Structure 1
Amino acid sequence: MARNMRVLLIGADRSPATLAEERLRALGAVQVERASRLSSTLLGRLRSDRRAYHAAVVWHELLESLDRLSLRDYAALSRRMPIIALMSLGDWTRGRSGAVLADGWVFLEADLAELPTIVRLAEAGYWTAPNSLVGPQRHSLRRRQAVLALSIDQIKVLGQLAGGHSNREIARQLRLSEAAVKKTVHDIIRHLGLSNRTQAAVMAFSVRLGRDAMAPERPHLPV
């Protein structure tokens, strides 16, 4: 394990990031320094700081909210050091896209003791993901991610399919025309890369999406 690894934690004022900091400090090989947010001021300090950071660990919500100006700061930071997105597995399954800007991911639910390895790989130019994305759960996680990419109306129809309802019954339940339901079912099957409505219903059950999918907001699909 690398000795005296120096990590900049950006977003340290967020409670999940504080928890991550406590876990990281417990690792003798990692020195953690804090910053509340990504800013031009922080970037200026980094330019004048002769001590090199091995990586910046950024709370993922900061990556979601980058505007044009802060994107420029982010690009400048990423040229100086690898960026590791810190997030929960639940945020990933809900389709948070900002993490794609990072050079690696670390999840709060994963063992943060792996962070030195993730940092070293990012320094070497590798994109990394925790074992929870590439281990036994990967197929289930990918199914959930595919379902979450559906529109709210499509999720409602998919929930009805999981209940074994016909197009006519779905149309009556959701107050749609049968033609609209038929098209939506076709779009769902195509989007999920399936062959028929039965496969779509099975996938809905596999991600715990059932009759309650008629809720007006996008449902949370727990891990």
Structure 2
Amino acid sequence: MTARPIKVALADDQALVRSGLTALLAGFAELELVAEAQDGEALLAAVAETPADVILSDIRMPGLDGFGLVRALRERGDATPVVLLTTFDEDSLALAAAEAGAQGFLLKDASPEDLFEAITRVARGETLLAPVSTDPVRARYAYRDQSEPTDTFNEREVSILRLIAGGYSNREIAKAVFLSEGTVKNYVSEILDKLGTRDRTRAVLKAITLRII
């Protein structure tokens, strides 16, 4: 039995870029473009009518930009994974993407293979907080404290760490993993303790650096 294609929605204000990305997506039988729009507002309306498995969105768009699109999705309870696209290779983007609630970001000059990998990974529930999954890029976001955790992480803790990296609140994580909000809060505290970090942002950066997520 053939697997269902991953449904993708796309937002970019530049028509040529949209056309190029549409052509790239069409090159993969495993992907299906179900909606495209020139800004965040239009894409919000489109995915309300035609749900997608993964959303690709430019960061810098007039009106509702990529970050605003992610926040609007999360505020209405839509947890569709989002990969933000940018032409700007800035160190702050990984953190900004996570804080907005996106699952990752990708440079627009990435190869078709990188695009496909990003889409399939976030569709599986993973987080992609680097432009491409290579050691040099991972090193660029290395957290200064690279000391080993005080204990190992079990599968549940890794899952919660990935959701933290996606910008989800304790309440949203609780719904996703079928636990009480109080239990999730305890898990988060334990994760921070193991990593020796004071807050969620530092925990995510250190977890990425140490390849825990």
User: TM-score scaled by structure 2?
Assistant: 0.48
User: TM-score scaled by structure 1?
Assistant: 0.47
Structure with the larger helix share: 1
